[in-house]
Amino acid sequence: MRNQHTSAASQQLTPSTHSNAIKLSIIALACAGLIAGCSGDDGSDGAPGADGAPGSDGNDGEDGRPALSAGTLLRANNGSDNAGTVDVTNEYGELLYTLETTNNQGLVYGHQDQLIQAGDADTGSIKTLCATSLRAQNNGFSSTWDRAISGPNSTLVNPKGMTLASAHGILLVADFGAMQISAFGAMASGDNTPIAVTATDAAPWDLAYDDINDRLYAALTNGTVAVYDNYIASGMTATPARTIVPSDSNGDAIGVNLHGIAFDGSQNRLVLSDVGSAQSPDDGALFVIEGAAMADGNTPVSRMIAGPSTRLGNPVDILLEGATLRVAEKSNDAILVYTNIFNGASGDIAPDFVTMTSKPESLARKQHTTHLDASDIDRPATVRGVAVSSNPGTAGPTTGMIAQLNAPLSAMSMGFDTQATIESVTFDIEGNGYATFDSSDGSSGGIIIANRIANTRDNGMFTLSQDRMVSGTNTTLTSPKGIDIASKQGLVFVAEFSTSNRGVKVFSRCASGNVAPLMTLLPANDARPWDVDYDAQSDRAFVALTNGTIAVFDEVSAKMYGGMSTLAGEDRLIVPAMSGMAVAAPTNIHGIDYDPVSDALIVTDVGSAADATDGKIYVLNSAAMASGLTNIDIAISGPNSMLGNPVDIMFSGRDLYLAEKSNGLVMRWDNILNRASGDVSADASYAFVAPESIALVLQK
């Protein structure tokens, strides 16, 4: 394994990190002649000379360096000895650890700690690595953890730069060898066709997408920028609305071979890098284009940086953050940093900071969302919609549908056809749907991962160009029921109900195809799970068992990352009780939701599946460390409640939403944690055919 963790001292001696000796000469020159405010520590005084003779020279001072925004960056490598690796660094390019991705081109970092990378060293591919922050040094691409798009149907030849249209969940890829822009669903995997392809007039190298205005900019290797207006709305097959030709003040074209491109939406401007001749180590350039949205034809650049002091030879990629521009300079083995790329004169301008590194190819910054999963709400949330799956005994129009009701439960607003028999559904923080399914004969099951269905794709249908499945004998999924997502940990929890494969199966959120689970939570005494709620804050899983009890597993992800693949037996077993006596049979826990704020556990009991009147809601307080007989604090049941088979629930932080299957209702109980026990009617309800599962769509 290469690029192991090293001490700060040893990092200074490796070619993949900045060298003090080289950096000294560069920064000293910059500070002396070009850069204001770049100051280092003074060196110590030299020894005094004898009378009449000069003293000896003092020691050199430490190099000064500009203040850069703190953060974690990713640096793709593409040299003879480091291709297929991505270095994770701090803001100054100092190595933290290395990932063995096996790909070598453009990087995109997703909001859920996933790294997406293009590659063309062998066949063209797009690989997605999950939970990169939690995986060990030099952890490599894994078919169990990760996924790839590749193969003849993908049409990928030499994919280079990429960009993610986040709101739509569409990955846009500049395919240099195919001379096209390829669009894939962000959840797609395998050898499947793109959603769409856009042929380009010249080979594209990199892309920038304006999410707000649905505008795509493509840097072409003929020295121009193709601009596509209403790109996604028009089906991603349009010809360019305009072509920007970087020009000098006389209007003469100066672009030769554009590679990197970045869009500043706040000021409507582009930054471009031009490698010139790929064989020349000194003819690279940077351009700034103002008024990018409406620019057309020969467009004078507002700033051009080029010349020997810049060290620009083959600037293959750029990363813009505010006014700070980082440049992956491949031919001269460096990351060049300009702290104010938009202001200043054109000319031979030296960078403000330089990190020496071998053959950098692409750059990205890690960015984490602060939103929690819908099942891990830590405060009362604004509900935008209520998603419901339907699973009638006899297949009908609602079979396989994931419908979305409005928050008041008065109308249906969206629908998506999974083309499968759905058991349970939930969403991650980006609105991607995760749904368990099984076959009519119970011989096979799996997980459907559907791209952005909480937010878009109304009247859409499952397609491998956008979506994917986890299914097959290795998954051990035959009768999967409840499902939960842990976006931060990159995990999916599935309650497998079958006798032969029972247990909660834990998969990577990025998994695809016939993959084995990473871990199994196996309740004691042959108990079978129906639903699971994983609490990310405490790393604890609460499992609803059909024998009327709740299994609690502690330190789940910590044990998994520590190497454990099976947790045989729960840490605690909660037995719902009334006045110290266990609830009498028939008792059959189905829906489950834990509230970390109040430490309350909310569960539903369907009683007898054949009885449409004996369903119950229980609230158990002080649940985190509860064990054995645990008194129920709130119990709701009776004819007014309309509870018969309450198969699934979700808590909004205030209100409880419930799927009541036998009576065909979606219901809501307001302020559930402060309700009195008894035969209490729901505050709102909506008639729906055989609702099997419920999930909340939250306002971000």
Range of lowest pLDDT (99-113, 262-276, 431-445): 431-445
Per-residue pLDDT tens digits for 479-492: 999 999 998 888 99
Report CA Rg, the chain. 29
pLDDT at residue 604 greater than cutoff 90 = yes
Instruction: Compute the mean pLDDT over every residue in the chain, rounded to the nearest whole number.
Output: 89
Q: CA 406, 411, 415, 421 torsion: positive or negative?
A: positive
pLDDT at residue 11 greater than cutoff 90 = no
pLDDT at residue 637 greater than cutoff 60 = yes
Length of the chain: 700
pLDDT at residue 197 greater than cutoff 60 = yes
Q: Over pLDDT 70: what percentage of the chain?
A: 88
Count CA within 13 A, CB hemisphere, residue 650. Answer: 28
pLDDT at residue 6 greater than cutoff 50 = no
Residue 636 vs residue 41, higher pLDDT: 636
pLDDT at residue 643 greater than cutoff 80 = yes
Q: Over pLDDT 90: what percentage of the chain?
A: 80
Per-residue pLDDT tens digits for 311-343: 999 999 999 999 999 999 999 999 999 999 999
CA 185 to chain centre: 13
DSSP 547: T
Per-residue pLDDT tens digits for 450-508: 999 998 899 999 999 999 999 999 999 999 999 999 988 889 999 999 999 999 999 99
127 forms beta bridges with 117, 148
Per-residue pLDDT tens digits for 397-441: 889 999 999 999 999 989 999 999 999 999 998 899 999 999 877
In Å, what is the CA distance from 129 to each residue of 78, 165, 474, 590?
18, 18, 20, 33
Range of lowest pLDDT (61-70, 91-100, 347-356, 690-699): 61-70
Give residues with Cβ within 8 angstroms of 166, minimum separation 6: 111, 211, 430
pLDDT at residue 234 greater than cutoff 70 = yes
Q: Confidence band (pLDDT; 50, 70, 90) for 561?
A: confident
Rounded CA-CA distance 430/700 in Å is 10
Q: In the predicted model, what is the mean pLDDT of residues 213-232?
A: 97
Q: What is the pLDDT of residue 49?
A: 52
Q: In the predicted model, what is the mean pLDDT of residues 178-189?
A: 97
Q: What is the pLDDT of residue 379?
A: 63
Range of lowest pLDDT (56-65, 614-623, 630-639): 56-65
Biggest alpha carbon–alpha carbon distance for the chain: 109
Helix (H, G, I), strand (E, B) or coil at 674: helix
Rounded CA-CA distance 620/256 in Å is 69
pLDDT at residue 588 greater than cutoff 80 = yes
Give residues with Cβ within 8 angstroms of 227, minimum separation 6: 215, 216, 217, 218, 240, 241, 242, 243, 244, 292, 295, 296
Q: What is the pLDDT of residue 393?
A: 84
Q: Confidence band (pLDDT; 50, 70, 90) for 449?
A: very high
Per-residue pLDDT tens digits for 519-547: 999 999 999 999 999 999 999 999 999 99
Per-residue pLDDT tens digits for 18-57: 333 333 333 333 333 333 333 343 344 445 555 555 555 5
Residue 226 vs residue 9, higher pLDDT: 226
